[in-house]
């Protein structure tokens, strides 16, 4: 049982004005038979217009003025468990939890091994399309930002979905199904994905009036199947939008469909770094990047501090092979010592990319008067963390399943152990935004790549040196030469850029090595302390 917190702009007798994401949650909740194990709570906030009006007659919705933690640390919608210690953020993840809390007869919507939309939008092109891109296209039409409709051009996302429907279906070792067509979004079976996609498609079709468009026959056939034969239309009819069919009087005689690459939406993002498409780094490129930085004072390594406390008997042994256990303990001890030294009583600490929570659990044990948040987007890893917390009876820990960008809470200390590639930079940026101290042990330098949040290089010093983004990525590839002198130089170069970024924002920053250095080849540790921070010794 749990509580789902949804944002609305207004609540009147029998209806709410709400964004598309909230409307989708309400429609799915209604379709599942309004499960009693889920309590819907709406929070009135100021939202950009326009909003959908949703009929909530018969749907038990309660209004709340404040969202309790840990749900308050995330952008809505959020599903929070009854124990008030765990929550899930992100549209697809929240809908999965609602399905799980409904009758068992609905669980087929989660698909094979309950893996439907299990991957987060950061790593799955399919999830990103379902919960972000198609909905964003729908919103553009709602707020009149999609001017191409007047010219008869259908939205790009509709073209991508039509192309997806024309490709072979995805099956799991079932030979007799491999030649079937897309009856539903993911193949022959009706899943949660269909409910998610049907609502924005419903809004688009009814807003621009293209129900009979011959260019999207597969979408129209699928939409009819979901809406009529799966009885989803009765839930979609809860939506009231004054602009439905506003384009019917202006419908173009000849619609056009944007040209898209015929590529499955299941496949990884084509811009993602893939082994077969590697841009191999040449030695001359490494030397060129290093030469550009020769006049920059790289951050010098300082002596690190190791945790001298005996490993407490009540702390769980990290779930790693025995040959790695000692090294893992050394890694955790180093970061624990650094984090304790920059933490004050009553602080909130966030273990970013926490995995099973090895680091965060130790911090919670050592700092009982502080709050520790385990943040990760992997459901199974956090399930293991919850089991550890239950056995240890630690109650100063919140567990949050969410992408890093859904986390909006205030905190004083951020930590991460081996967050891969760009994730380490995202952690540092999140800490800088919150003016929080941080302890970061980076990993996967070769995985650094351009993204919509961070551009490289990050520091003004590196940019002034004329280092290009390609040159910076070369340094990351160089840093992945683990154990070599050149690899060490690459690690120092990349981490110096991170240190300079924080230093330019007034932070006191140190770069050191884990003790002993041999506990991992990714043994750099960056410690950032915000200005005028007073350290304590616990």
Are 80 and 86 in contact by the 8 Å Cβ rule? The answer is yes
Give the Å distances, CA to CA, from 77 to 109, 222, 276, 362: 20, 27, 38, 30
The beta-strand segments (E) located in 334-456 are 348-352, 371-376, 397-401, 413-420, 437-443
Q: Dihedral of CA 407/408/409/410: which sign? A: positive
Q: What is the mean pLDDT of residues 398-420?
A: 96
Among the residue ranges 145-149, 206-210, 422-426, the one predicted with the least confidence is 145-149
The beta-strand segments (E) located in 78-144 are 78-81, 86-89
Q: What is the DSSP letter of 46?
A: -
Helix (H, G, I), strand (E, B) or coil at 79: strand
Q: What is the DSSP letter of 520?
A: -
Of 362, 355, 360, residue with least CA distance to 316: 362
pLDDT higher than threshold 50 for residue 50: yes
Helix (H, G, I), strand (E, B) or coil at 417: strand
pLDDT reported for residue 242: 66
pLDDT higher than threshold 90 for residue 252: no
pLDDT, one tens digit per residue, over 283-298 is: 999 999 999 999 998 9
pLDDT reported for residue 21: 97
Pairwise CA distance, residues 12 & 237, whole Å: 18
pLDDT, one tens digit per residue, over 65-124 is: 999 999 999 999 999 999 999 999 999 999 999 999 999 999 999 998 999 999 888 888
Number of residues that make up the chain: 538
Q: What is the separation of C-alpha 208 from the centre of its chain, rounded to a whole number of angstroms?
A: 31
pLDDT higher than threshold 90 for residue 482: no
Q: What is the DSSP letter of 187?
A: B
User: Percentage of the chain with pLDDT > 70?
Assistant: 88
| Both tokens assigned to 161 | 């979905």
CB neighbours of 442 closer than 8 A, spacing ≥ 6?
418, 419, 424, 494, 495, 498, 522, 524, 526
Among the residue ranges 35-44, 265-274, 278-287, 369-378, the one predicted with the least confidence is 265-274
Q: Say what the pTM is.
A: 0.91
Q: What is the mean pLDDT of residues 437-464?
A: 92
pLDDT reported for residue 275: 44
Helices and strands (H, E) in the chain, number of each type:
16, 17
pLDDT higher than threshold 70 for residue 423: yes
Pairwise CA distance, residues 200 & 390, whole Å: 40
pLDDT higher than threshold 70 for residue 150: no
Pairwise CA distance, residues 97 & 79, whole Å: 7
Mean of all residue pLDDT scores within the chain: 88
Are 17 and 51 in contact by the 8 Å Cβ rule? The answer is yes
CB atoms within 10 A of CB 189: 18
Helix (H, G, I), strand (E, B) or coil at 403: coil
Residue 483: band (very low, low, confident or very high) from pLDDT cuts 50, 70, 90? confident
Helix axes 485-503, 469-479, angle to 10 degrees: 130
Query: What backbone torsions phi and psi does residue 358 show, to the nearest 5 degrees?
Result: -55, -50
């Amino acid at each position: 049982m749990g509580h789902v917190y949804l944002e609305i702009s207004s609540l009147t007798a029998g209806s709410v004005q709400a964004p598309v994401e909230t409307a989708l949650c309400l429609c799915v909740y209604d379709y599942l038979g309004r499960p009693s194990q889920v309590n819907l709570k709406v929070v009135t906030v100021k939202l950009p217009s326009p909003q959908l009006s949703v009929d909530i007659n018969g749907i038990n919705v309660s209004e709340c003025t404040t969202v309790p933690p840990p749900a308050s640390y995330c952008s809505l919608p959020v599903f929070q468990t009854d124990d008030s210690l765990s929550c899930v953020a992100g549209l697809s993840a929240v809908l999965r939890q609602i399905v799980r809390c409904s009758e068992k007869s609905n669980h087929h919507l989660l698909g094979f091994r309950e893996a439907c939309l299990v991957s987060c939008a950061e790593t799955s092109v399919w999830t990103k399309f379902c919960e972000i891109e198609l909905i964003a296209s729908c919103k553009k039409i709602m707020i009149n930002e999609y001017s191409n409709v007047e010219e008869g051009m259908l939205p790009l996302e509709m073209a991508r979905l039509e192309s997806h429907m024309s490709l072979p279906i995805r099956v799991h070792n079932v030979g007799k199904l491999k030649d079937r067509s897309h009856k539903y979004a993911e193949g022959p079976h009706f899943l949660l994905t269909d409910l998610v996609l049907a609502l924005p498609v419903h809004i688009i079709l009814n807003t621009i009036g293209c129900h009979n468009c011959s260019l999207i026959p597969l979408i129209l056939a699928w939409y009819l199947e979901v809406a009529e034969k799966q009885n989803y239309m009765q839930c979609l009819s809860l939506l009231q939008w004054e602009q439905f069919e506003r384009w019917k009087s202006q419908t173009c005689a000849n619609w056009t469909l944007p040209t898209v690459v015929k590529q499955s939406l299941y496949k990884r993002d084509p811009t993602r770094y893939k082994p077969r498409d590697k841009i191999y780094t040449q030695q001359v490129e490494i030397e060129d990047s290093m030469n550009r930085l020769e006049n920059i004072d790289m951050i010098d390594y300082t002596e690190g501090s190791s945790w001298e406390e005996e490993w407490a008997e009540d702390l769980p042994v990290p779930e790693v092979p025995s040959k790695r256990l000692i090294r893992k303990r050394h890694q955790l001890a180093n970061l624990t010592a650094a984090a304790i030294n920059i933490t004050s009583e009553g602080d909130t600490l966030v273990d970013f990319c926490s995995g099973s929570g090895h680091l965060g659990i130790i911090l919670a044990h050592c700092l009982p008067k502080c709050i520790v948040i385990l943040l990760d987007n992997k459901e199974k890893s956090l399930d293991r963390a919850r089991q550890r917390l239950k056995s240890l009876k630690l109650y100063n820990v919140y567990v949050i399943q969410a992408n890093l960008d859904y986390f909006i809470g205030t905190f004083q200390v951020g930590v991460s152990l081996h967050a891969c590639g760009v994730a380490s930079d995202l952690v540092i940026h999140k800490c800088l935004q919150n003016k929080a101290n941080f302890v970061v042990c980076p990993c996967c330098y070769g995985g650094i790549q351009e993204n919509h949040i961070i551009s490289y290089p990050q520091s003004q010093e590196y940019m002034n040196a004329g280092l290009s983004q390609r040159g910076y990525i070369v340094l990351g590839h160089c840093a992945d030469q683990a154990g070599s002198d050149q690899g060490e130089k690459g690690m120092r170069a990349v981490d110096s850029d991170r240190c300079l970024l924080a230093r330019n924002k007034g932070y006191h920053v140190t770069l050191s090595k884990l003790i002993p250095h041999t506990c991992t080849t990714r043994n750099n540790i960056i410690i950032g302390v915000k200005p005028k921070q007073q350290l304590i010794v616990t």
